[in-house]
Amino acid sequence: MNLASVSKAILGLVLGVFVTLGIDCQSVLALDEAVPTAAGSRPPVNSLDQALVDIANDDGAVRAAAAAVLIEQGDARLIPTLDAIRAEGSRAVRQAIKPVVDLLKNRANLTSEAPDFRRSAAADLGASGRAEAIPFLKHAAAKESVWWVRYTMEEAANFLELRSADPAVQLAAVQKLGELRSSNSVPLLKELIEAGQDPAAPAPQQTLAAAARASVEQIESWGTWANIIETIFRGISLSSILLIMSLGLAIVFGLMGVINMAHGELMMIGAYATFVTQQAFVAWLSPEVFDWYFPVSLPVAFLAAAGAGWILEATVIRFLYGRLLETLLATWGVSLILMQAARVYFGDLTAVIAPQALRGGAQVMVGVYLPYNRIFIILLSIICVVAIYYLLFRSHLGMRVRAVTQNRNMSACLGIPTRKVDAYTFAFASGLAGIAGWALTMVGNVDPGLGQNYIVDSFMVVVTGGVGKLAGTIWASLGIGGMNKLIEPFTGAVYGKVFILVGVILFLQWRPSGLFAAKGRNADA
């Protein structure tokens, strides 16, 4: 037997075995090619995998069904995959994927550690119009501990339920939005009211319109009270600014009998000292300690303004005591010089960045938002009043100041250095103006005309309250600041100030000495 005969025998044996086992030889020969093909096009193992495939389908109905599955079952981990599909897909595919990605992102942000992120995500979901987001919002609201974030989640869920086809669900959403006092829902509720005004409208629609009308009345009634509360707060905030500004002016004008028209520019110096301190932190220190510029700039602003006041008193005011007109004109000239110097060196406008702790605000109730910077100024004014009270009435320096105020000659006979007391008092009052400028950097830009915005109102506060009277300054600042914010919505800012000025003039005609009469060397009698 030769080799060829042996080979044919072996081949025949192998073919016989395959035939016996019922295996198609053609299939066996093709197996090596079939396996790689199957591995390369492995069918999806679950509905999410299938949805990721179908979201790129040319059929719009298939894409919509896939989007619904992704929203219901997916999470933020799918976003990179969806972004990759969107980058390579057609315009229709990109339009189908975008709302899915946005919804998944916002759904993930509902569990963020930052309350602002959770609130923003809830608001975006409410504006999306996707009913699929309702369970997410309600689930997040049930676990939310911050009331104003929970409020936004509930509001957003009810926004989406207003679009429901079920009248009962719509009615419940309308009533809930009224209970929430949601001012954002008023346009939607008014649409329902208009739709139900047609006499031919079905009964459920008319019922819905009546409920919407009641909710709108409820919301508008609460909005009136919220507006009153915010107006009072704004009035107190403005009063606090005027009070800080007027405290130094009350000491200079009331106790020393000096009309200092440059007091506003001393406040400007405090504001620019804050700005310079901020820039020094930016240039020389790391960003991690940037927010510390604000407390550091407080003594800087005080000392800068106090130093400027000391120089002003020593070079100008000292030679003009008892000469009110000359003092007024001289200090007015100084104010113009300081403004132009600031404009030349710093330019027309600079900005101070608020520290992180003073950004944002507190949502104290529905429709009432109180900025942190305004709350800070109110607290600062209280601290300044307490400090000045203890300085004037509980300290040795305060006793000397009051003694010189009451009787300069007798104080000199008792050994009190009256000229030094004048210098110390003027410097301290100027430092208070610097603190006012430091605080005002939190509510606006710094410019050379900053002090001019408050100097007239500050003089009105001092004169109305009673020259040299701390209690009068407090009450007058509250009155003028509150009336300003009360009148401003009806007349505008310019006419509001005009009415306030006329009111002060009429008040002084009735009570020339102000709320509290002055005593001592500056009294009229």
* Residue 323: partners with Cβ closer than 8 Å, 6 or more residues away: none
* Residue 411: partners with Cβ closer than 8 Å, 6 or more residues away: 400, 403, 404, 418, 421
Q: Residue 255 — pLDDT band, cuts 50, 70, 90? A: low
Give the residue among 479, 467, 519 at the shortest CA–CA distance from 251: 467
pLDDT digits (tens, 9 = 90+) for 474-522: 888 888 888 888 887 777 777 777 888 888 888 878 877 777 765 544 4
Give the count of beta carbons closer than 10 Å to the beta carbon of residue 525.
6
Residue pair 251/425 in contact by the 8 Å Cβ criterion: yes
pTM over 0.95: no
Most confidently modeled of 2-11, 88-97, 146-155? 146-155
Give the residue among 121, 81, 77 at the shortest CA–CA distance from 102: 121
At 78, which amino acid appears? L
pLDDT at 18 over 80: no
Q: Residue 524 — pLDDT band, cuts 50, 70, 90? A: very low
Q: What is the pLDDT of residue 72?
A: 80
Residue pair 177/222 in contact by the 8 Å Cβ criterion: no
Q: What is the pLDDT of residue 279?
A: 92
Helix, strand, or coil here: 320? coil
pLDDT digits (tens, 9 = 90+) for 296-338: 999 999 999 999 999 999 999 888 887 888 888 999 999 999 9
Place of tokens 């981990």: 77
Cα dihedral 391, 397, 403, 404 sign: negative
Give the residue among 311, 305, 336 at the shortest CA–CA distance from 438: 305
Residue pair 461/242 in contact by the 8 Å Cβ criterion: yes
From CA 189, how far away is CA 182, in angstroms rounded?
10
> DSSP secondary structure string, 168-188?
HHHHHHHHHHHHTT-GGGHHH
pLDDT digits (tens, 9 = 90+) for 377-396: 999 999 989 988 888 888 88
Q: What is the pLDDT of residue 266?
A: 93
Task: Please return the burial class of 183, using the count of CB atoms within 10 Å of its CB with bins 0-12, 13-18 and 19+.
Answer: middle
From CA 380, how far away is CA 386, in angstroms rounded?
10
From CA 343, how far away is CA 325, in angstroms rounded?
27
* Residue 369: partners with Cβ closer than 8 Å, 6 or more residues away: 230, 361, 362, 363
* Residue 157: partners with Cβ closer than 8 Å, 6 or more residues away: 126, 133, 134, 137, 138, 141
Cα dihedral 298, 301, 304, 307 sign: negative
> DSSP secondary structure string, 80-97?
HHHHHHHHHS-HHHHHHH
User: Average per-residue pLDDT in the chain?
Assistant: 82
Helix, strand, or coil here: 362? strand
From CA 221, how far away is CA 215, in angstroms rounded?
10
pLDDT at 257 over 80: no
Judged by average pLDDT, the poorest of 278-287, 331-340, 451-460 is 451-460
* β-pair partners for 370: 362
Place of tokens 């210098």: 423
For residue 194, give both structure tokens: 């208009």
From CA 238, how far away is CA 240, in angstroms rounded?
5
Q: What is the pLDDT of residue 37?
A: 35
Residue pair 269/338 in contact by the 8 Å Cβ criterion: yes
First to last CA, the chain: 151
Q: What is the pLDDT of residue 519?
A: 54
pLDDT digits (tens, 9 = 90+) for 185-244: 888 898 888 888 877 778 888 888 899 999 999 999 998 888 888 888 888 888 888 888
Longest dimension (CA), the chain: 151
Most confidently modeled of 2-6, 65-69, 197-201, 511-515? 65-69
What's the half-sphere exposure (Cβ side, CA atoms, 13 Å) at 374?
16
From CA 173, how far away is CA 161, in angstroms rounded?
6
Q: What is the pLDDT of residue 214?
A: 92
**Which helix (H) or strand (E) covers residue 361, if one does?**
strand 361-365
Top-confidence residue, 506 or 11: 506
What is the four-CA torsion angle of 130, 136, 142, 144, rounded to 10 degrees?
Answer: -100
From CA 513, how far away is CA 107, in angstroms rounded?
64
From CA 25, how far away is CA 488, in angstroms rounded?
96
Helix, strand, or coil here: 75? coil
